[in-house]
């Protein structure tokens, strides 16, 4: 895991909004109704993941960019937050849990 990805995980675990490197941003959104928070992870200003603390679930997105960098950030998120799943690629297609990647796929531990 790269240092900026470690910083990204640290920000999420600390529930702190901020930047990790030049292109990755974490926004913590408080959800007053259910006394929960979510972390929105942006890469180049595009939403690539949303993590809900209370439910301990994560939604993954590519924002149309199936790049090495996007895949690296998603896998770092999954690994750093304790998920066992990962994003893999075969023949130019992305997969999660042996299924083809779909925008907004929801994963739980």
Secondary structure (DSSP) of 44-101: TTEEEEEEETTTTEEEE--TT---HHHHHHHHHHHHHTT----EEEETTEEEETTEE-
pLDDT of residue 87: 97
Question: Which secondary structure element, helix H or strand E, spans residue 36, and what is its range?
Answer: strand 36-43
Report residues of the chain scoring pLDDT below 70.
34
How is the chain split into domains, by residue range? 3-108
Q: Which two tokens stand for residue 71?
A: 């895949």
pLDDT digits (tens, 9 = 90+) for 81-104: 999 999 999 999 999 988 999 999
pTM: 0.92
pLDDT of residue 2: 86
β-pair type (57-60, 46-52): antiparallel
């Amino acid at each position: 895991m790269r240092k900026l990805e470690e910083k990204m995980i640290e920000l999420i675990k600390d529930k702190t909004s901020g930047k990790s490197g030049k292109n990755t941003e974490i926004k913590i959104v408080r959800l007053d109704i259910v006394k929960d928070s979510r972390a929105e992870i942006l890469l180049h200003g595009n939403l690539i993941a949303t993590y809900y603390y209370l439910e301990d679930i994560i939604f993954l997105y590519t924002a149309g960019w199936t790049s090495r960098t996007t895949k690296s950030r998603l896998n770092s998120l999954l690994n750093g937050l304790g998920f066992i799943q990962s994003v893999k690629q075969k023949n130019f297609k992305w997969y999660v849990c042996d299924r083809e990647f779909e925008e907004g796929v929801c994963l739980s531990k």
